[in-house]
Structure 1
Amino acid sequence: MLSNVGEADAGHPDVSRRRRWLIVLLLFLVQVANSADKSVLGLAAKPMMQELGLDIEQYGLLASSFYSLFAVGGLLVAFFVAPHVRPRHILAALLFIWSVSQLPIVFAASFTTVIACRVLLGMGEGAGTPTALTCCHEWFANKDRNMPSALVMFGTSAGFLLAAPVLSYTIQLFGWRAAFLACSLLGVAILALWLTLGADGPFRATTSRADVPSATHRAISQRAIWSDPTVIGICLLGFAAYWLTGFAISWLAPFITLGLGFKLLDAGWVLSVIYASHALLLLSISFYSQRLLQSGRPSRLARGVIMGLCMAGSGVAFAVAAMVSDISIKLVAVTLATGLPGPIYPLLASMISEIAPAAHRNRLLSLILAGITTAGMLSPALAGWLISGNDASGWSQALLLQGGVAAIGSLVALAMLHPERSIQRFARLGGQ
């Protein structure tokens, strides 16, 4: 298959399993830092808004500012850096940016400063997840990538899970600025580990003509790649999933504190339970998908249909959360609604790596995973506009909007994702 052209042979008996899983652990920690950086604004929202005199709409702008250059950062890396620089070096540079961008908030907080720092942080984090997944995929063959990818993405859930109580207590004891300082120090520590222990894997994609035989390098145009129905479906599904993620990152904590009336520390524990549930959904669904692949089921079923069902379940749960008044039911529904999109990312990334011609894999993965994050810029701002009245109807409208987006994503996944067809098509175009 062309998708495997340029990969190392699937055997690789000399590659230490311990080494592979050490890399996965490091990338897990990278995602922990990534999600802690994202969540700190929501956790600090209430005291920060009070001190800086911000209203709901202004907070919505702060939340959206993180995503204003998020995709731009990812696209710059995809176009100009990924084709020439090894992913592990890119990841080290990104970790440095994440750490530095938190510091001005600690020492010179204002509405303008927070926006500027969140814009810089977002630009730095735009390529974070695709780069981490690319590093992960270098260590595993296609049929074995779902679970390692899920474990890397589990770092996102674990970051939210740990950040909620830890940063809530930090804010309670030392003030909201201390939470941003803690995120900066965490990034520095993980950067040191990555520089010491990180390495390239044996299944890395090709980056130059010299890496592959000439017969396998017949030109496949960018138009042919981007016009492929599965690639288009992946982009649309990813956009819908990240729309929901952007809402959850920016508004889940305020929903618990402002919408449902929980106190800060209580909200921290509620969020921990929610994020633990997200982690369980991520790992169990990804494990089930990988078992389907290993039993010989097609990727169309094992990845595509599974992703469609996740989005459908999320849409139903958002609708339930919007329509019921019981707080317990709302919490369960919101937990499912915001957790079911989680498995989309490892499965989506694995499908991209599966179908992409090897010489194009790093760029395609970075471009798609960066491009879909533009949804995260739109979703929080629109939700903030709907919620601005800060009454029950505003929250309900915002939840129903997310449900509609999830339903559209489900239909796209079920109708458009046919990876086996795409692999055959690219093989024909590449002369395989």
Structure 2
Amino acid sequence: MVASKETVRDAHAPGAWPTARLLVLFMAVNFADKAVLGLAGPEIMNELGLTRRQFGSAQAAFFALFSLSAIGVSLLTRRIRSTVLLLAMALAWSAAQLPMLWPTAGLGVLIATRVLLGAAEGPAAPVAAHHLYGWFAQRDRTLPTAVLLIGAAAGVALAAPALTWVIGAWGWRWAFGTVGVAGLAWAAVWALRAHEGPLAPLLGAPAPPRAGRDVDAAGTATADPGPPLGRILASPSVLAAGFACFAVYWQISAQLTWVPDYLHTALGWSAGATGLAVAAGSLANAAVLLTHGLLARRATARGGRPGALPAGSGAGLLMLGAAAAVAVFVTGPPWLKLLMMCGPMALCAPMMTVGQTTCARIAPAHRRGAVLGIVVGLSSVGGVLSPVVLGRVVDGAPEAATGYGRAWLLTAALLALAGALATLFLRPERDAQRLGVPGEETP
């Protein structure tokens, strides 16, 4: 049964943006969970006697099951309500943080809990986006997607000074306990208030039969279910979006893991100044995401394609971010480094919005959750590789500052390549038309 325009309009008005706000908090807690290890990194390495390579391995453990979980759980969106999946994830990742409160918990417990945390958080972004798209039609998705991702930046921005204070006052173990309690609080609110949107696909409904092969009782060919999953994933736009998100995941993971240690160890910044700098960088990401979403909505209202980049090509944004990464870690006084972190370096963030809306445009509604999960799962491999590779680069250098410079030259090159590929191949409307996937402008 398909909802009428009137039904959807009535359901959209009271429920869409309140749901989006809850999901923003969901993403905020999600990224606070990710940020806690990097913020507590110097204290953890000092107390447990870890090298940067060992610490990088602990951070990479977060992504050990991240991709598989993102893919597997996203495939369940055809059978299990996304409200239930999101609640289960929040409970699981909150529980994963609490064992680090034990005074005797060491590297083994840290790695085990990071693996569990990654498995619980892997599907968070795609399932949250899938749930959000049950409330917003294709034409209106760019702004709410940007707002959803702002939650990620807000999580880091709020966590950086707050958890730095917790670490200083109560020790690094209570930083893990704090984010665990925050996750449980969100889960309680979600359990009471969440429900599915009017555009959500019907649970358990079989995929639409293929035209020309299945007929109804009268012998009339039934509707085309759209392209198979393999063709969607192999489209140039999805491949380009996936690689761009891979590069951004690499950058995000590198920043969460190594920026606090770089500022504190290599540059000699205090713990308080480091926390404020990380928060400022995250607020800049949030500002860029919101600006991109508002400009994209304005461009769409004037007749542009939904999800278009309004402030330059994908190559321009990612290459500016790459240049800023070089400036932060290779040259310039401290004030210039901070300026680059809070300015051009944040321009990489909108590519995550573009990647989500691109995949949602090309995938029919009944395949949307699976496509989003697979793309996020594969692109998040960048988060697995980044801490380990960059940790080895830094450890292999004669001094930490030199190692960080080399590591971020590598990151800059990856961002620049991703930007070039995005400019050449990111054409969601063209690929959607080629695959025969209609838009969702009229619910």
- Sort the TM-score into its range (normalised by shorter chain): over 0.9
Matched, 1:160 2:156: yes
Amino acid at match of 1:32: A
Change (3 A) 1:235 1:211: closer
Contact kept, 8 Å, 2:139 with 2:306, in 1: the verdict is no
The 5-angstrom pairing of residues 286-301 of structure 1 reads: 286-299=293-306, 301=308
Q: Give 1:148 shift.
A: 1.0
Contact 1:205 1:361 in 2 (8 A): no
- Mapped to 2, the partners of 1:128 and 1:341 lie a distance apart of 20
In structure 1, runs of 5+ residues without a counterpart are 1-5
Is the alpha carbon distance of 1:82 and 1:413 closer, same or farther for their aligned partners in structure 2, counting shifts above 3 Å? same
Q: Do 2:257 and 2:387's aligned partners in 1 also have CA atoms closer than 8 Å?
A: yes
What is the Cα-based RMSD across aligned positions, in Å?
2.3
Alignment partner for residue 87 of structure 1, among 82, 88, 100? 82
Picking from 242, 255, 262, the partner of 1:235 is: 242
Aligned to 1:103: 98
* TM norm structure 1: 0.92
Task: Give 1:258 shift.
Answer: 1.7
Query: Counterpart in 2 of 1:143?
Result: 139
* Cα pair 2:94 2:180 within 8 Å, conserved: yes
Letter in 2 for 1:83: R
Go from structure 1 to structure 2 and tell me whether the alpha carbon gap of 1:191 and 1:307 turns closer, same or farther (over 3 Å shift).
farther
1:416 aligns to what?
425
Deviations 1:155-192 (A, max 9, x none): 11111011011101111111111110001100000000
Equivalent positions of 1:41-120 (< 5 A) are 41-79=37-75, 81-107=76-102, 108-120=104-116
* 1:342 matched residue in structure 2: 349
Structure 2 counterpart of 1:86, one-letter code: R
1:303 deviation in Å? 7.2
Write out aligned runs for 1:389-400 (5 A). 389=397, 390-400=399-409
* Residues 322 and 413, structure 2, Cα contact 8 Å, conserved in 1: yes
Match of 1:68, SS state, is coil
Query: CA offsets, 1:277-316, max 9 Å, x none?
Result: 1211111122112211221112484479644332121111
Task: Give the match for residue 262 of structure 2.
Answer: 255
Aligned length: 424
Write the mapping of 1:214-225 to structure 2, written as runs, cut at 5 A: 215-218=222-225, 220-225=227-232
Q: Determine if contact 1:248/1:338 at 8 Å carries over to the other structure.
A: no
1:208–1:359 Cα contact (<8 Å) kept: no
The more displaced of 185-194 and 283-292 is 283-292
CA, structure 1 residues 163+300, in 2 after alignment: closer, same or farther (shift >3 Å)?
Answer: closer
Counterpart CA distance in 1 for 2:308 and 2:180 is 41
Distance change >3 Å, CA 338–CA 304, structure 1 → 2: closer
Question: What letter matches 2:424 in structure 1?
Answer: A
CA distance in 1, matches of 2:413, 2:100: 36
Structure 1 residue 347 displacement after superposition:
2.3
- Residue 43 of structure 1 and its aligned partner are, at CA, apart by 0.9
Contact 1:292–1:302 (CA<8 Å) still a contact in 2? no
Q: Contact between 2:71 and 2:370, CA under 8 Å: does it hold in 1? A: no
For 1:417 and 1:305, the matched residues in 2 are separated by 13
More helix by share: 1
TM-score by length of 2: 0.90
Higher relative contact order (CA 8 A, sep 6+): 1
CA distance in 2, matches of 1:331, 1:22: 34
Letter of the aligned partner of 1:95 in structure 2? Answer: A
Match in the other structure for 1:378: 385
Gaps of 5+ in 2: 211-221, 439-443
The equivalent of 2:191 in structure 1 is: 195
Select the residue among 160, 165, 169 that pairs with 1:169: 165
Q: Kindly state the Cα deviation for residue 374 of structure 1 after the two structures are TM-superposed.
A: 0.8
1:110-167 CA deviation, whole Å, 9 max, x = no partner? Answer: 0111011011101111001111111111111111111111111111111101101110
State the alpha-carbon separation in 2 of the partners of residues 98 and 183 from structure 1. Answer: 9
Counterparts of 2:277 and 2:239, CA distance in 1: 37
C-alpha contact (below 8 Å) 1:293/1:302 kept by paired residues: no
Deviation at 1:193, TM superposition (A): 0.6
